Amino acid sequence: MNKEIVLATLEQRLRSPVRCALAAAFVFFASGPYLIALFVKAMPREIQGSPHGGMLALVFAAGVLGQEFSSGAPQLTFTRPLPRWQWVLSRAATCAAIASVLAILPYFPALLIGIPLDQIALAMLGQVAEAVATTAVVAGLSSIVPGLTDLALLAGANIGFGILGLFANLLRDDQARAVATWLKSHIEPWFSPKLDLVGLAHGASWSSHALLVILSTIAFWLVIAIAMSNRKELSYATD
**By CB under 8 A, which span of 65-73, 108-116, 153-161, 197-205 interacts with another protein?**
65-73
> What SS3 class is residue 203?
coil
Alpha carbons 92 and 86: distance in angstroms, whole number: 10
Site membership for another protein, residue 81 (CB under 8 A):
yes
Length of the chain in terms of residues written: 239
Handedness of CA 231, 235, 237, 239 (dihedral sign): negative
DSSP string, 43-75: S--SPPP--HHHHHHHHHHTTTTHHHHHHTTHH
Residue from 195, 188, 190, 194 nearest 159 by CA: 188
In whole angstroms, the minimum distance from the beta carbon of 11 to another protein comes to 8
Site membership for another protein, residue 79 (CB under 8 A):
yes
Nearer to another protein, 50 or 90 (CB): 90
Residue from 101, 109, 102, 98 nearest 62 by CA: 98
Question: Which of 19, 20, 48, 77 lies at the binding interface for another protein (CB under 8 A)?
Answer: 77
Site membership for another protein, residue 17 (CB under 8 A):
no
Residue 156: other Cβ atoms inside 10 A: 12
Question: Which of 41, 80, 172, 231 lies at the binding interface for another protein (CB under 8 A)?
Answer: 80
Site membership for another protein, residue 67 (CB under 8 A):
no
Number of residues forming the site for another protein (CB under 8 A): 21
Alpha carbons 122 and 137: distance in angstroms, whole number: 22
Site membership for another protein, residue 20 (CB under 8 A):
no
**By CB under 8 A, which span of 23-31, 33-41, 75-83, 106-114 interacts with another protein?**
75-83
In eight-state DSSP terms, residue 204 is P
Nearer to another protein, 82 or 187 (CB): 82
Alpha carbons 192 and 190: distance in angstroms, whole number: 6
Question: Which of 6, 10, 12, 196 lies at the binding interface for another protein (CB under 8 A)?
Answer: 12
Structural contact between residues 104 and 124, judged by C-beta atoms closer than 8 angstroms: yes
In whole angstroms, the minimum distance from the beta carbon of 79 to another protein comes to 4
Site string for another protein, 179-218 (x = CB under 8 A): ----------------------------------------
Site membership for another protein, residue 4 (CB under 8 A):
yes
Nearer to another protein, 83 or 162 (CB): 83
What residue ranges bind another protein (CB under 8 A)? Answer: 2-5, 8, 11-12, 15, 71-73, 75-77, 79-83, 236-237
